[in-house]
Structure formats: C-alpha cells, structure tokens
Homo-oligomer: A and B are copies of this chain.
Amino acid sequence: MATTPESGAYLIAPDPSRAGLTREVTGTDQYGQAVTLSVVEERPLTIFLNSREIVTAMTIGDYPKYLALGFLRNQGMLSDADVVTGVDFDEELETVVVRTEHETSHEEKLQKKTRTSGCAVGTVFGDMMEGIEELTLPDTSVKTSDLYALAHQINRTPSLYLEAGAIHGTVLCQGNRPLVYMEDVGRHNAVDKIAGWMFDQDVPADDKLLYTTGRLTSEMVIKTALMGISVLASRSGFTAWGVEIAQQVGLTLIGRMRGQRFVCLAGEHRLIRDVDPATVPQEDKKHRRKSGG
C-alpha cells in the first residue's frame, strides 16, 4: 500500500455525491413552506463471525466489509493469529460474514460463556479492556504544526457532514497528511471502518495519528490504542475515564482543537511544539465545523 501519497491526496475521502448515502426528504420549515433536505441514510448491518451472529450495527452503508473487519478487530474478536479467508457482504440480507480458517478463540469463549451463564451480551467491554493492559504504544512524536495543518485540511474536505450533518468523522493521518477519512451515523463505525481498512491493507500503525470529530470517550481511546495508534486528536471534549485510560496506556490525547487552540491531557511527551500558536489563523466562520458531540 502507498504510505506516501502525493501531498493533499486522500487514499479514501468522503464521497458525498455517492448514490445511496443520502436521500432527499421533503417537509416544512418554520413558515410552513415546503422544504427538501438531503438527509443521511442509516441501515442495519448484521455482522457474523463464521456461523456466529455478533452484532447489528446501524451504518450509512458504505464499506460494510471494512466495518465488519474493524469492529471484530477492535472488540478483540479477531486477532493477528486469525487468518481471514473471506468477507462476504449480502446487500439484500444486510449481512456481512467474516470467515476465518479456524474457529477463533472468541467463538470458543462464546461457546463456553453460553454454556456457563447463558449469554455473552455485556462481555464486549470486558474483552476490550483485557487487550489494553499489555499494550505498548509506539514512540511516534507529533509536531503541533502538523496538528494545525491536519485540522485545516480536514475541516475543508467535502464530506457528508458538511452536506447533511448528523454524522461522525474519523480520519487516519500520517505527518501532516490525512490519508483515510471515514464517516458514519453510528458512533464508532467510522473508526471501525478505518481499523478494518488498515487490517485488510496491512497498514502499519506506528507512524499514524487518528483525528475524530467526536468526543474522547473511554471507548474511542481504547479503540485507538488497540489499533496501535499512539495519538488521538479531536475537535470535541474529553471524558474523565477517556483521559485516565490514555494516561495509563501512554496515549497522547488532544482535544478541543479549534483554530489556534487545543488542550493536551495525556502523553504530552510526544508533542513537538514547533510553531507559535499565535501565528496560526483562527477558524473562519465559513469553515468552522460544529462539534460532533
């Protein structure tokens, strides 16, 4: 895979005009006048791991295979030891089946769990935390000039968000370049699609940074760490547990990025402050994106 694309070129960028992602809906405005809005689609996608039904995610529907792979990876249900032999998407049935050469250890665990306590709901979170304690994140440093450059580019990228609102975006970046920009209505689908793409394309994580429009919750921090990425940045705010986990695993956590401003609440040691923030232009109103929540 190309890890050094031309400057400014996304490997995958949002394609707001792609058929099936938005729909024209008519209604009325405050004056009772007819209006037509472009609203994002949202459809169920049921993910199977071999013969096991794992979860039904609500998604805009692009990249179902990356979503399934990334979800299973980020939940620790698919490990490096598992050889994926096929990923089959059935549009009509709204299902993706991820097939592996051998039964995964997650399936074994489910079998056991089912026998002992009847069901495996609610274990998802415990499983995620399990993987995180043994993690060592790469020593990648991050220049503040790159952070500003990334925010500037990402905020100006045509997206479903700018087109129709009500959507989350996550962008995989390298240095000052945004590489893969995924969007979704489902809260964590955007980051899962990036994880699935990285897994599928065998993309190294140690020189990458993740940017998200959403808030920096424990789940976002855990997913980022499990992906082996050591820097997570956002326009939005933090939760206390998100900060705590970032500090524990040594992940660099940057939030509230707006124009010149940002706050770093964990992993400060990776930051190289190579630019005077006063020289960075404030966000102009036209390109100011709202918080993703």
Contacts and interface: CB of A to CB of B under 8 A. Distances in A.
Interface of A: 22-23, 25-32, 35, 37, 39-44, 46, 52-56, 58, 110-111, 114, 117-122, 124-126, 144, 164-166, 168, 185, 187, 214-219, 236-243, 256, 260-266, 268, 271, 273, 277, 290-293
B53 A214 contact: no
A28 to B, nearest CB: 5
Q: Name A's interface SS.
A: mixed
Contacts of A243: 25, 39
B42 A241 contact: yes
Contacts of A121: 53-55, 119-121
A180 to B, nearest CB: 21
A243 B26 CA distance: 10
B110 A185 contact: no
B261 A166 contact: no
A25, A55, A277 — most chain B CB neighbours (10 Å): A25
Given A58-B219, A165-B236, A263 B28 contact: yes
A188 to B, nearest CB: 10
Given A40-B240, A117-B53, A240-B41, A29 B168 contact: no
A40 B265 CA distance: 14
A44 B125 contact: yes
A138 B243 CA distance: 44
